[in-house]
């Protein structure tokens, strides 16, 4: 007697089956395994292979049956999926398992399949590709930042008020709406007047401050700031203890060589190239976001509910963590929980839809990750690891699933490149400032 599958229900992508594994199939496999045990088992009081079969059944029978049933379940599921030509979107789920010795093993199998996807005509896509050349002012700013990172700090030769670019040792007592702000209250900490780290209002408020003379500075955090300070106005009572400045450095070939360049001209070229790479990455992120929007709107197929629910659960767990720690953005914090759930459920559905589209593109066009691409991905992970880089290589060698996670973004980028190669891309040159603003809008 063979496996028996009875269809119970089909609704959309979901299907349910009653599965029966005959008792004689289970018992035959148990007997085969028991025969092997009889030949090799060592039991006290008996020579190898001479122990009574009944004793071995008593000692090993339950364990052998458990092994057989476990493998039989896996075989039955594989057979059913192949017979019904189902492509499961997630692991099929076994319910109501009945496993009684000398009886048929029965269970109910629920499967949610992947949808049939008709890909849109990528050749019909028309997208705008932004281009932006790095202005000389940006290169000079990056050079100044490089100098600031490498130049040693020295105390002022003569007392003077605070100026842009100074590095301060200061005390701060912060308040917001009359309440103290512990995270911005400190003593003797270093404060660098660099707009990359502090809001411009904060820096401007300290210009002209004198050592030992308290200065009140009021500034507002950007709305996109994570946490309870987003969009909030804070007042700090700042007392500067010491002003230090970067020791002047002569921009010449000798300085360039300390930075790993052969000459000052070569250093400028490197800085410009890095800045251009950053600009190009911003432009690509904007183009990719536009493409994702088009792909999301251009494909309409049923989504596997279980996959969407799992994606939403992961997103919502992070939202709840941020909410508990006060890290929600001001925009999210202002919404009701129902509105947040609805919004993030839409985001989950979008992610699943786009993931299925990319998966279809990857499979149909045999897109693969090369060994070199995977090696570079591992190297990138190791270079950003603060501990021992060798631990990263060991981790990926011993965890094939982690390696698969590394492949996912690489394959997605390949799918994006494949689609963009078929689309019509119209270039448009924009200023660096506009590119940065557009990038902020889509991030």
Are 175 and 281 within one domain?
Answer: no
* Domains identified in the chain, total number: 3
Report in angstroms the alpha-carbon separations of 368 from 19, 112, 404, 413. 37, 26, 12, 11
- Identify the CATH number of the domain in which residue 98 sits: 3.30.70.1050
Are 438 and 297 within one domain?
Answer: yes
- CA dihedral sign, ordered 41, 47, 50, 56: negative
Are 161 and 231 within one domain?
Answer: yes
Percent above pLDDT 70 for the chain: 97
Res. 309: pLDDT tops 60: yes
What is the per-residue pLDDT across 109-128, written as a single tens digit (0 to 9) for each?
Answer: 999 999 999 999 999 999 99
Report in angstroms the alpha-carbon separations of 128 from 286, 291, 424, 426. 10, 10, 8, 5
Are 316 and 391 within one domain?
Answer: yes
Per-residue burial over 324-344, b if 16 or more Cβ lie within 10 Å, else e, is eeebbbbebbeeeeeebeeeb
Where is pLDDT greater, at 18 or 249? 18
- Identify the CATH number of the domain in which residue 389 sits: 1.10.3120.10
What is the per-residue pLDDT across 91-109, written as a single tens digit (0 to 9) for each?
Answer: 999 999 999 988 999 999 9
Report in angstroms the alpha-carbon separations of 308 from 21, 33, 133, 316, 348. 32, 42, 41, 12, 6
Q: How confident is the model at residue 255 (pLDDT cuts 50, 70, 90)?
A: very high
The number of C-alpha atoms within 13 Å of 143 and in the hemisphere containing its C-beta is 22
Q: Round to whole Å and give the CA distance between 98 and 424.
A: 58
Global pTM reads: 0.78
Query: Domain range spanning residue 72?
Result: 4-112
The answer to whether residue 128 sits within a structural domain is: no
Res. 228: pLDDT tops 90: no
Are 224 and 291 within one domain?
Answer: no
| Residue of 23, 118, 34 lying closest to 364 (CA atoms) | 118
Are 280 and 369 within one domain?
Answer: yes
Task: Give the pLDDT score at 312.
Answer: 97
Does residue 137 sit in helix, strand or coil? helix
Task: Give the pLDDT score at 325.
Answer: 79
Res. 249: pLDDT tops 60: yes
- Stated as kind and residue range, the H or E segment containing 409 is helix 400-422
């Amino acid at each position: 007697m063979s496996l028996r599958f009875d269809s119970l229900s089909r609704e959309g992508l979901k299907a349910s089956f009653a599965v029966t594994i005959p008792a004689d199939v289970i018992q035959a496999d148990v007997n085969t395994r028991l025969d092997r045990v009889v030949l090799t088992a060592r039991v006290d009081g008996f020579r190898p292979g001479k122990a009574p079969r009944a004793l071995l059944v008593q000692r090993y029978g339950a364990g052998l049956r458990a092994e057989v049933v476990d493998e039989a379940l896996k075989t039955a599921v594989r057979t059913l999926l192949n017979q019904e030509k189902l492509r499961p979107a997630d692991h099929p789920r076994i319910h109501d398992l009945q496993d009684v010795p000398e009886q048929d093993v029965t269970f109910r199998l629920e499967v949610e399949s992947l949808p049939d996807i008709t890909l849109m005509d990528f050749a019909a896509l028309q997208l705008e590709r932004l281009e932006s050349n790095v202005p000389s002012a940006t290169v000079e700013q990056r050079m100044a930042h490089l100098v600031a990172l490498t130049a040693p700090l020295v105390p002022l030769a003569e007392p003077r008020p605070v100026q842009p670019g100074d590095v301060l040792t200061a005390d701060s007592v912060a308040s917001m709406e009359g309440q103290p702000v512990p995270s911005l209250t400190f003593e003797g900490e270093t404060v660098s007047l660099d707009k990359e780290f502090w809001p411009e209002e904060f820096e401007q408020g300290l210009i002209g401050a004198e050592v030992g003379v308290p200065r009140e500075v009021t500034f507002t955090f950007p709305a996109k700031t994570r946490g309870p300070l987003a969009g909030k106005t804070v007042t700090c009572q700042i007392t500067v203890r010491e002003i230090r400045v970067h020791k002047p450095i002569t921009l010449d070939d000798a300085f360039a060589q300390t930075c790993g360049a052969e000459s000052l001209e070569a250093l400028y070229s490197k800085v410009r190239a890095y800045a251009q790479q950053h600009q190009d990455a911003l432009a690509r992120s904007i183009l990719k976001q536009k493409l994702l929007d088009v792909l999301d709107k251009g494909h309409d197929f049923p989504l596997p509910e279980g996959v969407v629910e799992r994606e939403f659960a992961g997103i919502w767990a992070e939202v709840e963590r941020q909410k508990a720690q006060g890290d929600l953005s001001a925009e999210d914090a202002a919404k009701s929980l129902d509105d947040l759930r609805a919004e993030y459920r839409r985001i989950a559905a979008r992610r699943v839809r786009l993931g299925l589209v990319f998966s279809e593109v990857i499979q149909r066009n045999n897109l693969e990750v090369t060994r070199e691409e995977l090696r570079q991905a591992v190297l990138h992970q190791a270079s950003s690891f603060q501990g021992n880089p060798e631990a990263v290589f060991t981790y990926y060698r011993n965890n094939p699933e982690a390696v698969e996670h590394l492949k996912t973004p690489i394959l997605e980028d390949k799918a994006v490149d494949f689609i963009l190669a078929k689309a019509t891309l119209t270039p448009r040159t924009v200023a660096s400032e506009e590119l940065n603003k557009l990038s902020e809008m889509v991030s």
